[in-house]
Amino acid sequence: MVKDDFTLDTIQKDALKEVGNIGAGNAATAFSEVLDRKIEIDVPSVQIIPLEDVSTITGDEEDHVAGILFNVTGQAPGNILFIFPSESIRYLVKVVMDEEIEPDEMGEMEVSLLKELGNILSGSYLKSIGDMTEINMIQSIPGFSYDMAGAILSSTMISASKTGDNVLLIETEFMDGERKIEGYFFFIPQIESLKTILNALGLDNNG
C-alpha cells in the first residue's frame, strides 16, 4: 500500500526519472511537429509530494492557469494533471496560431490547442511507462479549466479523493531555443498504482 509517508530511494527516483526522460523525448518530437519548430524537453527532477503541497509548486494560488485533466484507467489507474501558467499560454498561442491573446479571452480554438498539447504530453508519458513496464494505461479525453491555480488544484484533489495521499511530480521544462516554457506534470495515482509501476520496474517499496 502507498502509505502517507511513502518516499522514493535514489534508485527508484533514477528509474522514474528515466521513465520521464523517455516520455519527454517522445513528447518533444510530437510537440515539435505541432509547433513546427524544434522543442527540447528536459526532466530535471522527479519527486513524490503530498497532495496538500501541490499548490505550492505552481506559484501563487491566485494566479490563473490552464489545467488539462485526464482520467487514467487500466492496470495503474489515477489522474494526470497538466498545468500551464498564463505566460506559457500566451506564448504557445502566439507560436502556433500567430495570435496575441490574453488567456481569459481564449476561444474554442485556443482551448482545443492546449487540450491537444496536453493530450500529446500525457500520451507520451503513458507510452514510456507502458514500454518500460508492460503496464496497460489508458487516458481519457481531456477535461479543461482556466481558473485560479488554487481552485483547479482543489477541484482536482477532490476528484482524486479516492487516490492515495501522494502525487508523482515530473518536473518538466520545455525549451524553444533559449525560451523556457513552464509546465507542470502531475500523476495522481490510486493507492496501489505507484507501487504497481515500481514493482514492474523491479523496484518494490517495502516501506
Domains belonging to the chain, first-starting first, are 10-200 (3.40.1550.10)
Give the best-scoring range by mean pLDDT among 40-54, 83-97, 167-181, 185-199: 83-97
Confidence of residue 187 (pLDDT cuts 50, 70, 90): confident
- In sequence order, the 6+-apart residues with CB closer than 8 A to the CB of 45 are 17, 171
CA-closest candidate to residue 66, choices 46, 47, 32, 93: 93
Give the best-scoring range by mean pLDDT among 30-39, 61-70, 175-184, 188-197: 61-70
- Is residue 206 over pLDDT 70? no
- In sequence order, the 6+-apart residues with CB closer than 8 A to the CB of 29 are none
Give the best-scoring range by mean pLDDT among 18-32, 121-135, 175-189: 121-135
* Residue 2 pLDDT: 41
* Residue 165 pLDDT: 66
- Is residue 130 over pLDDT 60? yes
161 against 145, higher pLDDT: 145
Return the percentage of the chain with pLDDT > 90, whole number: 15
Q: Cα–Cα distances in Å, from 201 out to 49, 65, 73? A: 20, 34, 19
Return the percentage of the chain with pLDDT > 70, whole number: 86
**Mean of per-residue pLDDT scores for the chain:** 80
CA-closest candidate to residue 20, choices 154, 199, 167, 187: 187
CB atoms closer than 10 angstroms to residue 156: 21
pLDDT digits (tens, 9 = 90+) for 58-102: 767 788 899 999 999 999 888 888 888 899 899 888 888 888 989
* Residue 164 pLDDT: 57
